[in-house]
Amino acid sequence: MWNYGMLPDDSQLLGKFSKHATIAGIVMIILGTLAIIYPFAGSLFTVAFIAWLMIFGGFMAGFATAKTNPKDWLGWFKAFILILTGALMIFKPGVGIQAVGLILAIYFLLDTFAGFAMGEMMRPAKGWWLWTLNGVLSLILAIIFLSSWINVAETAWLIGIFVGISLLFDGFALLFMGSTFKKLSRGE
């Protein structure tokens, strides 16, 4: 998976990256564990994070429109919609939770089709069934998200659990990368 030939030869750079990857991994493991233990808080944090990204993106779109073409009403409309949607998600977090839940349901439905398509394309090859299994699991997750989408508390619980699991696995991956790069920086 990793192409170590592409890594820089600079052991000092690898050491710094190792340190930062380890710190980020530990922080992500802690955040992921907290999101799994407190899924509603993890869901609110996720929605707030997305909302602030949208607000920031809206201001950047407005700034870019003002600098490049101030008469472009579509640019201003985009900025307005981003800021308005982000603010709505902050002031009405239940709406934001439902929106994120619906987006995740759509994502899992798309992943279902992709998994089935890849499984069908690779059918004679070894391991084709893993893609099909991925499609089945994505379909189950899509159904779970769609069936709980109306209930804000259930959707919040699901989002918190899934974000927590994702952060947990990403944190462990960063820890592994950090230890691997630390060994490479020492020449092991």
| 126-151 pLDDT per residue, tens | 777 888 888 899 899 999 999 988 89
Question: What is the C-alpha separation between 108 and 137, in angstroms, rounded?
Answer: 9
Structure confidence at residue 136 (pLDDT): 92
The residue length of the chain stands at: 188
- What pLDDT sits at residue 2? 47
Q: Give domain limits for the chain.
A: 11-185
Both tokens of 78, joined, read 């985009």
Would you state the pLDDT for residue 86? 95
Predicted confidence at residue 1, as pLDDT, reads: 42
Q: What pLDDT was estimated at residue 51? A: 96
Splitting the chain (188 residues) into consecutive groups of 10 residues, what average pLDDT does each group show?
53 76 92 95 94 97 95 95 95 92 92 89 80 89 90 92 90 84 72
Structural contact between residues 20 and 13, judged by C-beta atoms closer than 8 angstroms: no
What is the pLDDT at residue 188?
64
Structure confidence at residue 67 (pLDDT): 95
Report d(CA 74, CA 91) in Å as an integer. 25
